[in-house]
Amino acid sequence: MTQIKIFDTTLRDGEQSPGVNLNQLEKLELAKQLERFGVDVMEAGFPASSKGDFEAVKKIAEIVKNVSVTGLARAVKSDIDACRDALKNAADPRLHVFIATSPIHMEYKLKKNPEEVIDTAVEMVEYGKQFFEHVEWSAEDASRTDLDFLAKIIEKVIDAGATVINLPDTVGYTMPREYGAMFKYIKENVPNIDKVDLSCHCHDDLGMALANSIAAVENGATQVEGTINGIGERAGNASLEEFAVALKIRNDYYPYHTNLVLNEIKRTSDMVSKFTGMTVPGNKAVVGRNAFAHESGIHQDGVLKNAQTYEIITPELVGVHSNNLVLGKHSGRHAFTDKIKQLGYDLPEDKLKEAFKAFKLLTDRKKEVTDDDLFAILTDIQTDTSNVKRYKLENFQVQYGSNDKPSATVSLTTPNNDKVEDTSTGSGSVEALYNTLDQIITEETHLTDFQLNSIGQGRDALAEVHVSLTVDGKTVSGRGSAQDVLEAAVQAYLNGVNRAIYQKKAI
């Protein structure tokens, strides 16, 4: 069985999904979870893109020790310098440098001829090699690149010191047979190709990212790049959990394996979904809520007699547990602490007290607390920025009648510690609340997206709201969870504004 290395780019390419805006604490929590998940390489960000991204990559590199941490760089010395500085304390740092190689990119974006592109690629790999033992070089838009030129530039960057060659389907254009043939051609026509790992990076614009990744592996790729839940620019990337489970289930057909801890899939997927606000579709392979649901009577009968009749993946394989109702009103601190350790959280004493208090408040309203409920509490506690000045909800009241215009009164504590109250109206209850908040908040805000989901099932399920906002011209996201939908909506809005304040303070 050949090991296929997993290169996770959730924190870099995944964060480039429209509307996604992760703060440093969320990135750190995701990085620690990806380490538990067992990825081989973690692309922590693009250090040269902003001070915030630089600091996040730097912090991740200092904390994560069992995964090789990498930063992305254009073929520019200043980008490589930023990666060097951000990753200097990493246990196993590596550089990921890229340059476009397709005719359309070279002519219109780079405005360079092929020989100039080769010279730049070689120079930047040699420069990066001074600071990094491992250098991954990517041929941006490789799938639309002339194969002879691709083979020529790859040979030269390997001679310059590259240790990984990545051939991305940057725009999700290619088909599996074409993509596999490209890898086969490179294996057969680059004389020094045996000195490096071959990597694939596929986008899902035509729904082919996973199939293309498998085709690449069939033809010599030893590393697969992708994201959790398949998030990413435009239609997203190859879904790493789908790839890993496909190899596991079809190990009768494929002589490959990964080092991913498959029963961490559910928790990793849930964390990515919660932090990004990108809800996993119910019919999503491996992690969708319907992945193990059977409505057809014939299917139900078969599953009851033998699960393998219609279930090729057991829920337990990916960390889905059918019975997770474990804590309630009478559960004590010890049981709570033991449970959160089972869930993989390691909280300092102050955070543990805060989480237990939130748990007890929830049990006053909810008879049984599920793993999903605890997950919501714990992720909110771990990524809380309450140590900085912020807006805090004190109280709100909504008046609504089917024949009356809704009105809302909200009381807040401002970042200056002033108590402020105001009232406004709107077409609906949420709009009335948000109009009132806009009157109180001094920053200029504008709501661009609102999403409402439930955590768990039943009438006492928690409501979770995700919003996208512009705050003083900067795009941020916010989230809030509560048993009351309106309270979750207010908390999400304030969370977004407070994140903007936190990010502004960090710059």
Annotated binding site for Mn(2+): 13, 201, 203, 237
Interior/surface letters 262-294, b for 16+ CB within 10 angstroms, e for the rest: bebbbbbbbbbbbbbbbbbeeebebbeeebbeb
Instruction: Return d(Cα 99, Cα 150) in angstroms, integer.
Output: 12
Interior/surface letters 391-418, b for 16+ CB within 10 angstroms, e for the rest: bebeebebeeeeeeebbbbbbbeebeee
Query: Coil, helix or strand for 402?
Result: coil
Query: Coil, helix or strand for 406?
Result: strand
209: nearest Cα among 14, 1, 34: 14
H-only helix segments in 449-484: none
Q: What is the DSSP letter of 142?
A: G
Residue pointed to by tokens 């030269």? 156
108: nearest Cα among 153, 141, 152: 141
Instruction: Return d(Cα 226, Cα 239) in angstroms, integer.
Output: 6
Residue ranges at the known binding site: 13, 201, 203, 237
Query: Coil, helix or strand for 259?
Result: coil
Distances (CA, A) of 271 to 61, 91, 312, 363, 371: 20, 25, 25, 23, 13
Rounded to 5°, angle at Cα 407 from 404 and 413? 170
What is the layout of strands, in order, in the sheet containing 462-471?
A: 445-455, 462-471, 474-482
- Is 234 in contact with 203 (CB distance < 8 Å)? yes
φ, ψ for residue 164 (rounded to 5)? -135, 135
Instruction: Return d(Cα 456, Cα 402) in angstroms, integer.
Output: 29
